[in-house]
Structure 1
């Protein structure tokens, strides 16, 4: 209020303002309530709460809470829920009121099929509610908007994120005094009744087109506006991540994607096997007589919805309104409330289309109902519907989502005209507030510190030092290893990026180093998707043969801890030229040239077999390789970090194929060869019993080559579980020139544990894994005196330590428990084959993995 004191100095004006505000608040009754079962004390979700004599009303959330505002001084509330006697109570108004309703169960015919259904056995047989939902399922194909030949409309989407339930104690923290101006933007949520602080706002205006034959859908984004935190985070990645959390919800879909997870919908053909249904009452909705149908999970922990839907009492059995959310016991992390509210209306008497579409989610790290957290609300409105009018074919050409060139540069005049409804003063203030926060030195210090701790880089002008987790590591060859390095930022240059590091091993007393230069071939920086760049680099480094880690550096401190022996390594000098071209279609082209010089170290030796049976040492092997790779990943989404990408996995597959040509004589390359590798992966959703990740890989190398240039299968000797490595295979244990591999992970999402009385309270989730590898080493790649190839490695006693896979496939299985403390996964891994190999454990072994997931 300090700003008002400075402006309104005259005492009379200030007094009038206070009296006016007091009068307004006096005329507004704000009701925060909770509804519980009078006997058990359990909270009741989706209870109807209405103000008698008005059309005002709401439903309780997953925690049994509700919030209402009314100008009435003494409103009368009616609280009603199937299976319970309704309660009517007059509220003393003119202030904020907290009230608790304790509903008593009633003995009615509906009790047998109540949504709670704990006392009486619920049955599908002879249940009129189940008969009704089966009619809805039978007719849903004709009621979906996709049943129309054509449709188009203008769409306005608003996604807002607030800091929820901001307390007075939080506002008065000393550390926030330099940010006190942001509290001028506090607002009371009309949904939860909690005091919120707006933090993020994204608006999108677009035109949407659909045709049935051949089926195609196109969205043309005409304007996009959002708050951002500059170079501290990947703003586009945040946008994509939030879009993955807040997907379009179609109640007619069998599987509904939310929070990057698929949930079985209440109108799926198999839904009567997992949901309970009950007829609550009949009502009129916009002139149409409807049945109010309630639904809830048979098991409250399962990843299903609960709520109500209004179904037309005519031959269409169309859904006209749906309100649904989660059970408070659902096995979903960090979500304290979720509400979907949708309404369907007839457009041009041709078909039912969405006219109201709201999705609100409240997040809290510990799932505390009254704790401070995040509240996100996605509101979508539609207008200018055109139904069953032919749309020109050229509209559907190109990408399914097409962003117009100047969409992110629209001025205020465009938005004032394009928005379907005006923003509130609080919403308008978010943009200026965030811009002001970014300029505060204290905020910049906080963000720099957070960037250093979370991503491992310390900004210093146009350069940043890091990553911090590589500054210190150790291994048997180098002993203690020290490293220092960094990279330029877009502040230095939008079109060029440079990266370097230097390291020193105190045991081998050798320096290692790396330097690269990247040149963007687009109008944006080298880190922004889609990337199109040329990179040149040179590296002098120590490597574990066959270990190419995708998201982390090999000298990461946490990877220094390994089981068994880890003393077979090579010193590599690598010249790398790389051209990368990503496109928004999902197609990536990669052309790469490498010249690699490998020198063995530790207990690894490069030896050739002589005619007299003796071994001759080979100082190094040199290869010059030209690689052409294609990758197709339609609708791929990810968050771009400083030195990694976090994929936002969806239902779409990805495919990759790489061809490598070895050229003898080019930069001293010693071998001619060809190599072909193919890879495919897909996530298969099977609600409500989880999802399965499947990956297939295969490859073949042509022409004789030493083992170091063949496929050395990716092993894992750390104690961390690695999804795409063989977790009980030793380094350099298996080599192939042709192979096929399969990785299968099925995540049950607690489907089994949710049924166990005590364990289900822990919200644990089950996962099973199978990994199989078949391979072969051709006769031409087995070392002889005639071909001069390298002899397979042996241990200190001269016994073989590297093998081919010709006897049988390598297999390992695991059973895991994930979501321990919401972030930890523990796997009991069992190796099934090649147990006779040296340094192999036949007993199951525990591995761990840290993973954040909803």
Structure 2
């Protein structure tokens, strides 16, 4: 009987096993394909690198995948499974049921775990938040304590492959806007905005850049060396846009995020990292979850700013509980009340993985920012993704690997075909179709005549030059101006472009003053040794020029011309001019490390104009007038700006400042007897500029300069006439309450400090903080003097140099320094209407000088993020 039962049991088990195997075989023989996207349920933003898995299926190929940078995924699995699950740190898991259709698409909306301050603060107990005895603060202090061993700089040697992708486009475009008649020929550019919160919204992809690099790091001596193996981007016609400068500017706005840095630079501002050494002072931390499904276990730390208007993040950190206290993931954004301009949305996602030493390293960094003038209007949305692979630590490379500049182009830039092949075969993250379209669309767009007309008009408005075949006419802001000597002044000018020649460039203008009834001219011819535009980096050219024009003595304006219409409005007595005739020869060469060398030769004749006089008083008190001065000068100059970045405009470079200093040195020699030169002298000038970042306290721009002129019996036009400002605009590099020609010296030293506090104080004041104003402070001081051999007041030499200038009432109006430096300071508000800076400027001394203003209000247009 027992044998019969055992036999029956065996038969039943055998039948069941065969049935199961047959069913499984049939099930696995029939598969279905599910594609789709994973998005944030609230913002509709795609979630990159989320895990999507088939629920109930064994771990096997096809049953689990990760979304790409655009939140897209694809799964192929047996039809017997009917549910998939999306998971990502900082979000609740989300399931989606699927049908047995062979091909289907799913959109999975995940809910963020927003159990942060507003939900976890224990108001019921009336307990005030405190760092003391707070387990979340104790944990973040452990993370801070272990930063050095968990970050790249904690390793002696490291190397990895790096892929960067940055894309931008116009966002939040309405259907009405897209269907405007002007865009009739451009409909191929617009795409449906899947992340929009409302229907019928479109985007216009406009820029993409990709880089593939090999990076080596060495701790001692510290060096990070990046070998760029490939770089490609959608480019506009360089006649209209500086593509390199545009890429540099976008890279500054969308900088790489290293959470282990104390300060994280984004949109030209610095944000305090939630794991900075001082983070517990500025952030509130809460333990909001423990994740045991991960190995090692993770603790979710939520954090918010103590002051919502400060430059701080809010979000979640995921910290390992294996004793290393490493960051395994991070999701960060900013508060709505933050004192940050034009940013409608900002999202940072960081994902870390283990290296070959079981340390967590940054695998993927994704930064998305949506810029807009208004909350609901059209904007610019961009994202930057950096992916790291093949991470190795402890591998020492030969010293030659680390030598040289920090970044090296390690491929043939001209071989476009090889570069394209590199990205097609080695790009670790696949581009979405709309990203691939950007390359093609930009090329197509620039072939449309109406678009080129639009770019031509835009270039005129932004740069002041009008394209006219092989030449450019401008700049338009100098066509009309006025001053006390010339009266109304009309000017027209232009220059050749690369369309005419890549070697030879010419520039010219003619101007006429209706009061002095004199013509002014300028001509120059430039030869480029490197077959590139003489305005593009790296410059290498020789230029010959002739100029006959007016000038205010001592004025050296930057980024604007002296006959700019807006500078025509001046205060006080400002009719001391010179007529200058100059023949010049200039050589300049820039190196890839941003060292610039230059040399010049100038023959100059100047004649006083207006109320300016060149006169000497002899021993008998009689005046002798001079109608002209002649000099011949040789000069050399050096400028070193390591890691400098800038946007190259039509006229000037717009600097993109960073933490690196800029050094300058200039030497000029006056040669008597050469080409009518009347004086011997030697002028030495050294200067340094540096931006100091002060974390939550803003930043300061500091400029120091020194000058020494060797020689005797030198007239004041060839000494240092200190740069004054009699306009109503605040000028950064001039003394805003000093009068023209007020101070002259042959040796001097100066300091200029511009301190931008970024609203740190005003953000703390109720009601005022809603205006999002920002404090700005400045101090400028200069001290020097005249040696007796150049001093008009010296009894032995006074009759051998030009006398001090005097005004219409015969009162002395120019001086050298006394026993103290000239000083002025200001306090102001910036970010007024997001574009304006207004300063109250106070002159601190030398108030007994004629027409010396004690204070003034000055304004400056300044765009801040």
TM-score normalised according to structure 1 size = 0.88
2:18 aligns to what? none
- 1:409 matches 2:415: yes
Q: Which residue of 2 aligns with 1:594?
A: 602
* CA distance in 2 between partners of 1:210 and 1:140 (Å): 17
Post-superposition shift, 1:112? 3.6
Structure 1 position 386, deviation (Å): 2.8
In the alignment, the residues of structure 1 paired with residue 479 and residue 312 of structure 2 have an alpha-carbon distance, to the nearest angstrom, of 46
3-state DSSP of counterpart to 2:173: coil
Of residues 664, 667, 673 in structure 2, which corresponds to 1:659? Answer: 667
Change (3 A) 1:180 1:80: closer
Query: Which of 655, 658, 664 is 1:650 aligned to?
Result: 658
Range 497-506 or range 156-165, more displaced = 156-165
Give ranges in structure 2 of 5+ residues lacking alignment.
1-31, 56-62, 76-80, 100-104
Change (3 A) 1:589 1:102: closer
Q: 2:840 corresponds to which residue?
A: 828
Say whether residues 1:138 and 2:123 are aligned partners: no
Partner of 2:392: 386
Q: Partners of 1:592 and 1:811 in 2: how far apart?
A: 33
Partner of 1:150: 157
1:720 is displaced (CA, Å) by 0.4
> 1:220-235 alignment to 2 at 5 Å?
220-230=227-237, 231-235=239-243
The answer as to whether partners of 1:608 and 1:785 remain within 8 angstroms in 2 is: no
8 Å contact 1:607–1:617 — kept in the other structure? yes
Q: Deviations over 1:684-734 (max 9, x none)?
A: 111101011111111111112101110000000000000111001110010
Aligned twin of 1:750: 759
Deviations 1:786-814 (A, max 9, x none): 65211111111221100111232111110
> What displacement does 1:419 show?
1.1
Shift of 1:525: 2.0
User: What residue number does 1:547 align with?
Assistant: 555
Matches within 5 A, 1:721-800: 721-783=730-792, 788-800=800-812
Going from structure 1 to structure 2, the CA distance change for 1:443 and 1:663 (only over 3 Å counts) comes to: same
- Mapped contact 2:763–2:769 kept (Cα < 8 A): yes
SS for the counterpart of 1:559 is: helix
Q: 1:397 offset after TM fit, Å?
A: 1.8
Q: How far apart, in 1, do the equivalents of 2:305 and 2:632 lie?
A: 60
Map residues 400-439 of structure 1 onto 2, 5 A cutoff.
Answer: 400-407=406-413, 409-411=415-417, 412-439=420-447
- Aligned ranges for residues 444-455 of structure 1 at < 5 Å? 444-455=452-463
Secondary structure (helix, strand or coil) at the match of 1:498 reads: strand
Q: Measure, in 1, the Cα distance between the counterparts of 2:672 and 2:501.
A: 38
- For residues 721 and 442 of structure 1, the distance between their equivalents in structure 2, rounded to whole angstroms, comes to 40
SS in 2 for 1:165: strand
* TM-superposed deviation, 1:672: 0.6
The match for 1:376 among 373, 382, 388 is 382
**Cα distance 1:344–1:405, how it changes in 2: closer, same or farther (>3 A)?**
closer
Instruction: After TM superposition, list the pairs within 5 Å mapping 1:154-193 onto structure 2.
Output: 154-183=161-190, 185-186=191-192, 188-189=194-195
Residues 162, 199 of structure 1: 8 Å contact kept: yes
Q: How many angstroms does 1:523 deviate by?
A: 3.5
- Report SS of the residue matched to 2:675: helix
- Aligned ranges 1:496-515 → 2 under 5 Å: 496-515=504-523
Could you say what secondary structure the match of 2:149 adopts? Answer: helix
Give the CA deviation at 1:409.
3.3
Provide closer, same or farther for how the CA distance between residues 811 and 513 of structure 1 changes in structure 2, counting only shifts above 3 A. same
Per-residue CA deviations over 1:37-81 (Å, capped at 9, x if unaligned) read xxxxxxxxx9xx9999979999xxxxxxx9999999999999999
Return the offset for 1:488: 0.8
Q: Structure 1 residues 120 and 556 mapped into 2: Cα distance closer, same or farther (>3 Å)?
A: farther
Distance 1:511 1:220 in 2: 54
Residues in 2 aligned to 1:192 and 1:693: alpha-carbon distance in whole angstroms: 44
Query: In structure 2, the residue corresponding to 1:584 is in which secondary structure?
Result: coil
Choose which of 211, 220, 226 in structure 2 pairs with 1:204.
211
Q: 1:287 aligns with which of 278, 291, 295?
A: 295
Structure 1 moving runs of 4+ over 6 Å: 24-32, 49-58, 66-82, 86-108, 190-194
Contact preservation (8 Å) 2:584, 2:601? yes
CA shift for structure 1 position 167: 2.0
Match of 2:59 in 1: none
**SS of residue matched to 2:826:** strand
C-alpha distance in structure 2 between counterparts of 1:410 and 1:292, whole Å = 46
CA contact 1:717–1:728 (8 Å) conserved in 2: yes
Does the 8 Å contact 2:547/2:583 carry over to 1?
Answer: yes
Name 1:111's counterpart in structure 2: 121
Query: What's the CA shift string for 1:495-517, capped at 9, x where partnerless?
Result: 22111000000000000010111
Deviation string, structure 1 residues 106-156 (Cα, Å, up to 9, x no partner): 999x52499xx9x85221111111111111111111111221121111111
Q: Distance in 2 between matches of 1:96 and 1:145?
A: 37
The CA deviation at 1:424 is 2.5
Does residue 669 (structure 1) correspond to residue 677 (structure 2)? The answer is yes
Structure 1 gaps, min length 5: 1-23, 36-45, 59-65
Q: 2:828 aligns with which of 816, 835, 838?
A: 816
Native 8 Å contact 2:225 2:407 kept in 1:
yes
The separation in 1 between residues aligned to 2:800 and 2:297, in whole angstroms, is 86
Q: Which of 266, 291, 296 pairs up with 1:258?
A: 266
| Count of equivalent residues | 802
The answer to which of 546-555 and 782-791 deviates more is 782-791
Task: Pick one of 832, 835, 847 that aligns with 2:858.
Answer: 847
SS of corresponding position for 1:135: helix
Match of 1:603 in 2: 611
Verify the 8 A CA contact 2:94 2:109 in the aligned structure 1.
no
Matched, 1:477 2:485: yes
The whole-number CA distance in structure 2 between the counterparts of 1:104 and 1:158 is 32
Task: Give the structure with higher Rg (CA).
Answer: 2
Q: Name the structure 2 match of 1:624.
A: 632
Alignment counterpart, residue 330 of structure 1, candidates 338, 352, 356: 338
SS at match of 1:722: coil
Single out whichever of 595-604 and 553-562 deviates more from structure 2: 595-604
Give me the whole-angstrom Cα distance separating, in 1, the residues matched to 2:261 and 2:112. Answer: 35
Deviation at 1:532, TM superposition (A): 1.1
SS in 1 for 2:297: strand
